[in-house]
Structure 1
Amino acid sequence: MAPEAFLQDATRTSAREGAVVLTNVTKRYGDQTAVDRLSLTIEPGEFISLLGPSGCGKTTTLRMIAGFEHPDAGSISISGADVRGTPPNKRDVNTVFQAYALFPHMSVAENVAYGLTQRRTSKSEIQERVTAALDMVQMRRFAGRRPTQLSGGQQQRIALARALVNRPSVLLLDEPLGALDRQLREEMQLELKLLQSRLGITFVFVTHDQGEALSMSDRIAIMREGRIEQLADADTVYSRPATAYVAAFVGQQNFFRGTVTDGGAGIDSPHVRVRAAASVLPSGTGSAAVRPENVTIEGETDADAQPNEVRGELLGVSHLGETMQYLVRLGDDQSLIVRRPTPQAPRLALGDAVVCRWRPQDVLLFPSDDAAAAAGYVAPPTE
């Protein structure tokens, strides 16, 4: 029997198995509101990430789904059943934490079998299910080892196997890759997504790492101050962010704040006239954003500056492998980040006068009240 076939519970027949619905959920700690009237529907078999900075409410939301925290208002249902008052061990979910919480005195197989043992599952079924779970994470040959004899990535696989062996319809993952080094973390991202695709189990993944969310998720919920700022697929969140906050948090942006011009299609800032492809802003003040990879750079020319063209001084050059990154000073209060594919990157020296350009269709515009939300994400000053 294939591992993924064995781990599916034959008694499950509901088409909504694995669906999670949060309706106007609020959680407070004293005077602090951690989650504020949050509503979210997670489809069966979906890989969804809750993404945001520390304190945005993502982990609290996950813990309420798991049953470790209880909402002060609102409702949560899992697979169509209201789980208010249901303890964690009675919910059809399992959780994988950043701290793997493996028992050091037990073997790998005993760790994976622990939940089944507590449920008094028969020994023959335990052995079959543990073997299948270890096969799924490619760890059967380590069944007799202790956790202290494993690497961080191997321990992560064991934690996953222990969670999956109980056949949950929903797997909750609370920053499970945070303790791994960069290369191993990237490998585990691929493995997690492939595993989720094979099993069809609903994954709810909490992270502050935008790269993890973008690379694995079917949809991403960007959270801010206990609410969802935008809920969409990775391409939409990255290319068409709903707010300046989302634009600034996902990837890097160059922000220009100033006066709205051209009937709402432009921003005149102290350093550049920015023009977008369409008029979307009301009159007043606003913000324009351009991603570093959408900016070109070359040595300065004698031609007059045009819209979407800015001159400055090259302050820094960084080799990022596939890309080259340039830091350009525009004035005393702002700098511009440019990224070009390494084979196409111009060879420039520090201190060179340079000109940078971008297309109108690569400009994002945000109103003045939204521009303030991105103030903390503007490229750092150059002094």
Structure 2
Amino acid sequence: MATTVSNTVEADASGPREAEGSVVLDRVTKRYGEMAAVDDLSLDIRPGEFLSLLGPSGCGKTTTLRMIAGFEQPDAGDLRISGRSVLGVPPYKRNVNTVFQAYALFPHMTVAQNVAYGLQERRVPKAQVRERVAEALAMVQMRSFAERKPTQLSGGQQQRVALARALVNRPSVLLLDEPLAALDRKLREEMQLELKLIQAKLGITFVFVTHDQGEALSMSDRIAVMREGRIEQLADSTTIYSNPVSAYVASFVGQQNFFSGTVSADGSGIASEYGVLRPAAAVTAVGPGQRARAAVRPEFIEITADRPAVDANAVEGKVIGVSHLGETQQFLVQLGPEMSLISRLPTPNAPAVGVGDRVWCSWRPGSVQVFAEDEAITEDGFSAPPTTTAIPTT
């Protein structure tokens, strides 16, 4: 399901024009032999926005980025940057820069020399080079490290230098290919904040490729969730998380508890092996009597020792795992031989239950989402999800 969002921000007598910093992919296809890595994809990236291409390995996100950068050429369709077609235009003639997962800094050069390299290749006057290098290093908080070599820097510091090297050229579009993947969790979270602040300050279009849903949700103005070379859903973070258009998106972005069942005759609920799941409104996405998959996120599942007054949206099980995650506690509750639920609750409100306890799990109708059975996939994005959701037990 390719998704297109119109992006016409300027107009003249000849019609609408695309603004500086816009990126438009118009029915782009890229094949490797018989395989379509990107399949008839249309996408408008707005000037100055932070857009993430999110998906599992093999979904086409990196190929899409490489075509924008000019490292790959489409087999069909058009690709425009700032309103100009770049088909056949080499990378060095596009007003874009790329930050890779491997920072590729020159080890024999200082930090300042690494950042200055691109400007010197373009024969920018020396005075301007010094000024722009100092400005770029200050922006990423690395000015005091200007005379150090890359081997004298931590991974996070090298990442900042690679970012400064890309920004110093003042591109219209900055492409980032999983640049935070090699960093530890704490540093990665810090750099997520810094990247978003830098992007907001500069107003440059950022196109960020990641398989990490947390990165995409925390930084992006919009997220394009990709599947088999196409865009499954394109929306802001809140919409992607709260209103996924398919089980694929629901499963890939955040955790889900999935129930397989059949839509009731009046569409009021999904009859599963473990009880009836009733959404807030009648099911319309799947017809009466059809197989469907209902989803409930872990944070919406309450755990109590006593049976709830209403049977719908309530199931009994045994606690088989408890994990303390700091601000939240996570419970794994087994319902049957092949079915378990994850509940994640704020630590101050978490129930005092342990492994082996019998509990009731319940959730509100507004927390139930329903998808067609044939859309269901696993967390790795390739096959129907199992009825058991496994997490480490403690």
Question: Would you call these one fold, judging by a TM-score over 0.5?
Answer: yes
Q: Given the alignment, which residue of 344, 356, 362 partners 1:357?
A: 362
Which residue of 273, 297, 300 maps to 1:291? 297
Kept after mapping to 2: 8 A contact 1:334/1:381 = no
Matched, 1:342 2:347: yes
Superposed displacement of residue 264, structure 1: 2.2
Deviation at 1:92, TM superposition (A): 0.6
How far apart are the structure 2 equivalents of 1:304 and 1:47?
Answer: 46
Partner of 2:89: 86
| Structure 1 SS opposite 2:160 | helix
Aligned to 2:14: none
Q: Structure 2 matches for 1:45-84, cutoff 5 A?
A: 45-84=48-87
Which deviations, in whole Å up to 9, do the C-alpha atoms of 1:127-179 show, x marking residues without a partner? Answer: 11111111111111110000010111111110011001111000000000000
Deviations 1:169-218 (A, max 9, x none): 00000000000000000000000000000000000000000000000000
> 1:106 maps to which residue?
109
Does residue 1:318 correspond to 2:323, yes or no?
Answer: yes
Mapped to 2, the partners of 1:260 and 1:28 lie a distance apart of 40
Q: 2:253 aligns with which of 247, 250, 255?
A: 250
Q: Is residue 121 of structure 1 aligned with residue 127 of structure 2?
A: no
Structural mapping, 1:22-33, within 5 Å? 22-33=25-36
Shift of 1:120: 1.3
Residue 385 of structure 2 is matched in structure 1 by 376
Structure 1 distance, partners of 2:138, 2:196, is 16
Q: Which residue of 1 aligns with 2:145?
A: 142
Gaps of 5+ in 1: 1-13
* In structure 2, C-alpha distance between the alignment counterparts of 1:90 and 1:177, rounded to whole Å: 27
Structure 1 residue 381, shift from structure 2 partner:
6.1
Aligned residues of 2:304 and 2:359 also touching (Cα < 8 A): yes
Residues 219-262 of structure 1 show CA distances to partners (whole Å, capped at 9, x for unaligned) of 00000000000000000000000101000000000000011115
Q: CA deviation at 1:286?
A: 0.4
Quote the sequence identity (%). Answer: 66
Partner residue in 2 for 1:11: none
User: Residues 262 and 323 from structure 1, CA distance in 2 versus in 1: closer, same or farther, beyond 3 angstroms?
Assistant: farther
Residue 377 of structure 1 and its aligned partner are, at CA, apart by: 6.4
Instruction: Report if aligned partners of 1:329, 1:336 keep a CA contact under 8 Å in 2.
Output: yes
CA distance in 2, matches of 1:154, 1:124: 25
Aligned residues: 369
1:120-199 correspondence runs (5 A): 120-199=123-202
2:229 aligned residue:
226
Cα distance between partner residues in 2 of 1:378 and 1:83:
47
For residues 265 and 138 of structure 2, what CA distance do their matches in structure 1 show? Answer: 61
Q: Could you tell me whether the CA contact under 8 Å between 1:47 and 1:218 is conserved in 2?
A: yes
Cα distance between partner residues in 1 of 2:128 and 2:45: 31
Q: C-alpha deviations, 1:83-120, integer Å up to 9, x for none?
A: 00100000010000000000000000000000011111
Check conservation: 1:253, 1:378, Cα contact below 8 A. Answer: no
Give the alignment's Cα RMSD to 1 decimal: 1.6
SS of structure 2 residue aligned to 1:74: strand
- Amino acid of the residue matched to residue 47 of structure 2? P
The one-letter amino acid of 1:295's match is I
For 1:10, the equivalent position in structure 2 comes to none
Give the stretch that moved more between structures: 260-269 or 217-226.
260-269
What CA distance in whole angstroms lies between the structure 2 residues aligned with 1:43 and 1:83? Answer: 17
Q: Aligned partners of 1:354 and 1:132: how far apart in 2?
A: 59
Map of 2:13 onto structure 1: none
Report deviation, 1:375: 2.1
Tell me the secondary structure at the aligned position of residue 310 of structure 1: strand
| 1:368 CA drift (Å) | 2.5
Indicate the larger mover: 365-374 or 143-152.
Answer: 365-374
Cα distance in structure 2, aligned partners of 1:262 and 1:207: 42
With normalisation by structure 2, the TM-score equals: 0.91
Q: Does the 8 A contact of 2:257 with 2:389 survive in 1?
A: no
Where does residue 3 of structure 2 map in the other structure?
A: none
CA contact (8 A) 1:282 1:367 kept: no
